[in-house]
Structure 1
Amino acid sequence: MSDMLAIGILICASALFAMSEIGIAAARKIKLRVMVGEGNTKAQDVLDLQQDPGAFFAMIQIALNAISILGGIIGEQALTPSIKNMLRLVYQGPLLDQMSFAISFFSITALFILFADLLPKRLAIIIPEATAIRLVTPMRWITMLVLPLVFLFNGLTNSILRMLKLPIKREEAVTTDDIIAMMEAGAEDGSLQQQEYDLIGSVFDLDSATIGSVMTPRDQIVYFNADENAAVISQKVIDHPHNDFLVCDGSLDKIKGSIESKTILRLVLKGELQGMHSAQFDHDILYLPETLTLSDGLNAFRAAKQPFAVVINEYGTVVGLVTVKDLLSSFMGQLITHEDDQPILQRDENSWLIEGITPISEVMRALNISDFPDRSQYETIAGFMINRLKRLPHKTEHCIHQGYKFEVLDLEGVRVEQLLVTRLK
């Protein structure tokens, strides 16, 4: 009975060590940091142990191996005689001793595998943070008790790793891929709504997409010429009710300033609108390069405090105009954009109408496409079509990519206005 009690104690001890090993290794850093912020000091102990786990794992292996060896010795002494006596009732041949030893060995091994290994490890992997927090303190005390052996084996392990030119400490940083993987898991189990998932995913495009992907292209910019009369100016405001307008001297490459629509309205009401005079418009214009990322563009707007910026290329030619709303729409999408103004309109389960100037990142999210070829060569879905066809496309021309058919539906001159995207069955 004393031997069986000893085996039971060894199994319980082995189960605790196995649980602590899996729990501390599997505990998620993000969740532990949240618990630390809530004042849980043991969560910080777990984080410290994860940062430098060498001594802890050395202690665990010493303990588990010692328990296994001791359990085998005690188990063989405790079970073999009893099993031998039971086997004598049915068999008394020359293999009696070997059969008794084999059965006792299998029984002890099965007990340790089931109750000291599988069950505790399964439990620890299900609730790793709770397991790690409960067991971190006793494990640290046990590590201190066997410190000489821990120093010996941990030092030998570190020496071997250095010889192999491998890192001896765990260096873990939360990457964008890690966050996206957690978001996908949250979206799958329902803890993260689809709108929240799309919004967070869009934020990661701020440092990769450029303002050229969200700007209003040059040929769609409405501006005033300095020599236009009041009737022409009024009609433009009626046809294009924007908040701000550029004032130019003949073309967009000769910008003189900008004027707000409310200023024009005030002049109209006073009967003082006779044309564009220098004193009526703002000469301070914000210029941004088209290669600027969305994140840098937001920072530029915050510093300049301007409602819009003129986008230029490397040769100083005006290629478009971008507003703060354009930048916000790039990652807030449907939250601030009216449904009728959405660049991607789903017709049915397997087809979409997409504007040509829609950023390729938005198309990827809407259609669940992992990637587009040569993405660095273009910013929009129209650019993808031109890149894929290697020329300016014609109406009804199409290409196929990742199970989708991209067909040019509408052209405005040489500009791709709209595409019809169909999922192929």
Structure 2
Amino acid sequence: MSLLTASICLLLLLALSAFVSAAEIAIAAGRKIKLQIMAKEGEVRALDVLHMQDNPGSFITVVQVVLNAVAISAGAVGESAISPYLQLLFNNEAIASIVSFVLITSLFSLLADLMPRRLAMSSTEIIAVRLVRPMMLLIFVFKPIIWVFDGAANVIFEVLGISTARQDDMTSEDIYAVMDAGAEAGVLKKQEHHLIENIFEMQERTVTSVMNPREHIVYFDTKTSTDKVVETMIEQPHNKFLVCNDDDLEHIIGYVESRSFLALVLNQQKVSLTDKALLKPALFVPDTLSLFEVLEMFKSTGADFAVIVNEYAMVVGVITLKDVMSIVMGELVTLEDQPIVQRTDNSWLIDGMTPIEDVVRALDIVNLPRNQNYETISGFMMYMLRKIPKKTDTIEYANYRFEILDTEKLKINQMLVTKLEETA
């Protein structure tokens, strides 16, 4: 074989190998979501890439067959065409064969393998849609060989009980990772990142994590005087007040809105807490519902206020639409009374009823032990201390010191959390 003929053969083999290498990386690494978007925008070749990803058997087989065939052919051509000239140069057949092998291998490794693969990784989806049709043609040409090898591989996998179907199910962890990557790259603003993260968190947090607990519920007995009701409504910041029989939260008959009640009083009309025009039916929800489920219930019923009951039919708290939305908005809004106040770079004042999810986020703690057993930082302290907490009680966990500053009866009002210096 002449040097010119050998050079042309090597160039053709080089081009074929480069094409297959680039197609292999681009088609295999193409992001399914981006390909779906390209298909919706009218790029029909993106559908071919998706189909090839879902059925990769023929694609993988033709890649391996072609690359191995090219490697063998290139070695044979290079050995027969280049070695004679190198033998004249070095006057040694062994050295000529070694140099010929190194030259051909280096040339194909650089131009037919490394460079095409790196190029394919830089613009994966764009290159994938451009090379998918030629790859489909190559698969058609090598169909008989593919049928043999692919069929043999399928039989072996079936015998071994191994599934080769591509799994592209998107999980919440995948979405969190994408959001984190977007925030680090500057695609998502910090506020947008927190907003999306809070929305996903709603599916995991239960209503009890943000409810107004039983001990803070302001309610009226049906026999409460109008003057007392007006005085309480003026003093309290709430808009809705439960109405009960026998001054018992387990006998709720509905709720009244302060605006409607006070409007009638100002008009000097006779009012009663049991007046059907004022008393509205209360929405009861179990304490096991997530915030997302409560939001859906508010949407379907048109309500924005609900009473939370536990498995023993006892009222444990109330929740409003504003409470739910405060979790969604998170750091985008500023509350008058912040439950977590950072004093210094390494210390925080935290209200005892702060949801544990907010504490974990503020302190950047990976995880807390048995966090399914409590919902607030007070519950965390009770779990760790294994007793009813009292003032000055402290624990250390995850390089933080948790100290109780103030208690009221059995309730923790305020805590000081300090980050400890890491020891070598």
Amino acid at match of 2:354: T
| Percent of aligned pairs sharing the same letter | 41
Alpha-carbon distance in 2 for matches of 1:357, 1:325: 17
**Once the 2 structures are TM-superposed, how far is the Cα of residue 49 of structure 1 from its aligned partner?**
0.9
Q: State the partner residue of 1:93.
A: none
Equivalent residue for 1:332, pick from 326, 329, 344: 329
Q: Is the 8 A contact 1:230 1:273 kept in 2?
A: no
Residue 334 (structure 1) shift = 2.8
What is the rounded CA distance, in whole Å, between the counterparts of 1:30 and 1:381 in structure 2? 39
* Residue 252 of structure 1 pairs with residue 249 of structure 2: yes
Spell out, residue by residue over 1:16-48, the C-alpha distance to the aligned partner (whole angstroms, 9 max, x if none).
Answer: 100110111111112112222222211121111
Counterpart contact for 1:76–1:104, Cα < 8 Å: yes
Give the aligned residue type for 2:330.
G
Residue 281 of structure 1 deviates from its aligned partner by 3.1
CA gap of 1:240–1:273, structure 2 versus 1, over 3 A, is farther
**DSSP-derived class of the 1:121 partner:** helix
In structure 2, stretches of 5+ residues that fail to align are none
Amino acid at match of 1:300: M
34 and 404 in structure 1: CA distance in 2 versus 1, 3 angstrom threshold: farther
Amino acid at match of 1:407: E
- Given residue 212 of structure 1, which amino acid in structure 2 is its aligned partner? T
The answer to whether residue 301 in structure 2 is matched with residue 304 in structure 1 is yes
SS in 2 for 1:418: strand
- Alignment equivalent of 2:148, drawn from 152, 155, 159: 152
Question: 1:92 is matched with which residue?
Answer: none
Cα displacement string for residues 181-211 of structure 1 (whole angstroms, at most 9, x for unaligned residues):
1111111122112222122122222222111
Q: Does 1:74 find its partner at 2:74?
A: no
Distance 1:26 1:125 in 2: 8
User: 266, 270, 287: which one pairs with 1:269?
Assistant: 266
Match of 1:128 in 2: 124
Find out whether 1:237 has 2:233 as its counterpart.
Answer: yes
**Partner Cα separation in structure 1 for residue 129 and residue 335 of structure 2:** 49
- The answer to whether structure 1 residue 224 and structure 2 residue 224 are counterparts is no
**2:8 matches 1:5:** yes
Determine which of 188, 193, 208 is the counterpart of 2:204: 208
Match of 1:161? Answer: 157
User: Structure 1: where are the runs of 5+ without partners?
Assistant: 89-95
Q: CA deviation at 1:283?
A: 4.4
- The answer on whether the counterparts of 1:344 and 1:354 sit within 8 Å (CA) in structure 2 is yes
- The Cα of 1:273 is off from its aligned counterpart by 5.2
Amino acid at match of 2:360: M
Following superposition, the deviation at residue 161 of structure 1 comes to 0.8
The alignment's C-alpha RMSD in Å is 1.6
1:47-58 map, 5 Å: 47-58=50-61
Q: 3-state SS of the aligned residue for 2:90?
A: helix
Pair 1:358 & 2:354 matched: yes
What is the DSSP-based 3-state SS (H/G/I as helix, E as strand, rest coil) of the residue aligned with 2:201? coil
Shift in Å at residue 291 of structure 1? Answer: 1.2
> Offset of 1:219 from its aligned partner?
0.6
Aligned partner of 1:42: which letter?
R
CA distance in 1, matches of 2:58, 2:11: 27
TM-score (norm 1): 0.94
Partner SS, residue 158 of structure 1: helix
CA contact (8 A) 1:32 1:129 kept: yes
Aligned length: 417
Name the aligned partner's letter for residue 106 of structure 2: A
Partner Cα separation in structure 2 for residue 259 and residue 399 of structure 1: 44
Letter in 1 for 2:398: Q
Amino acid across the alignment from 1:328: M
Asked if residue 40 in structure 1 is aligned to residue 43 in structure 2, the reply is yes
Q: Secondary structure at the match of 1:319?
A: strand
Q: Does 1:174 align with 2:177?
A: no
Structure 1 residue matching 2:138: 3-state secondary structure = helix
Q: Is the 8 A contact 1:203 1:331 kept in 2?
A: yes
Tell me how far 1:371 sits from its aligned partner: 1.4
Aligned partners of 2:340 and 2:54: how far apart in 1?
46
Distance in 1 between the 2:204 and 2:154 partners? 40
Residue of structure 2 in register with 1:91 after alignment? none
| Cα 1:37–1:418 shift into 2, 3 Å | farther
Tell me the CA shift for residue 261 of structure 1: 1.0
SS of 2:241 mapped into structure 1: strand
Q: Quick one: distance in 1 between partners of 2:131 and 2:378?
A: 58
The correspondence for 1:403, drawn from 399, 406, 411, is 399
Find 2:409's aligned residue among 384, 406, 413.
Answer: 413
Give the CA deviation at 1:128: 1.2
> In the superposition, relative to structure 1, how do residues 168 and 276 fare at CA in structure 2: closer, same or farther (>3 Å)?
closer
- Tell me which moved more, 347-356 or 229-238: 347-356
Match of 1:384 among 366, 369, 380: 380
Shift of 1:408: 1.8
Letter in 1 for 2:416: L
Using the TM superposition, name which of 272-281 and 244-253 deviates more.
272-281
| Alpha-carbon contact 1:198-1:365 (below 8 Å) kept | no
Aligned partners of 2:83 and 2:96 also within 8 Å: yes
What is the CA–CA distance in structure 1 between the aligned matches of 2:311 and 2:76, rounded to whole Å?
A: 79
Q: CA deviation at 1:215?
A: 0.5
Kept in 1: contact 2:194–2:331 (CA 8 A) = no
Q: Distance in 2 between matches of 1:171 and 1:253?
A: 50
Residues in 2 aligned to 1:414 and 1:76: alpha-carbon distance in whole angstroms: 88
Corresponding residue SS for 1:372: coil
Q: Distance in 2 between matches of 1:371 and 1:23?
A: 38
SS of aligned partner of 1:408: strand
**More displaced stretch, 177-186 vs 406-415:** 406-415
Q: Give the deviation of 1:295 after TM superposition.
A: 1.8
**For residues 37 and 421 of structure 1, do their structure 2 counterparts lie closer, same or farther at Cα, with a shift above 3 Å needed?**
farther
CA contact (8 A) 1:205 1:361 kept: no
3-state DSSP of counterpart to 1:352: strand
Cα deviation for residue 252 of structure 1 reads 1.5
Q: In the alignment, which residue of structure 2 is the partner of 1:59?
A: 62
Per-residue CA deviations over 1:233-287 (Å, capped at 9, x if unaligned) read 1211111132211112212222122111111221221123565343353241111
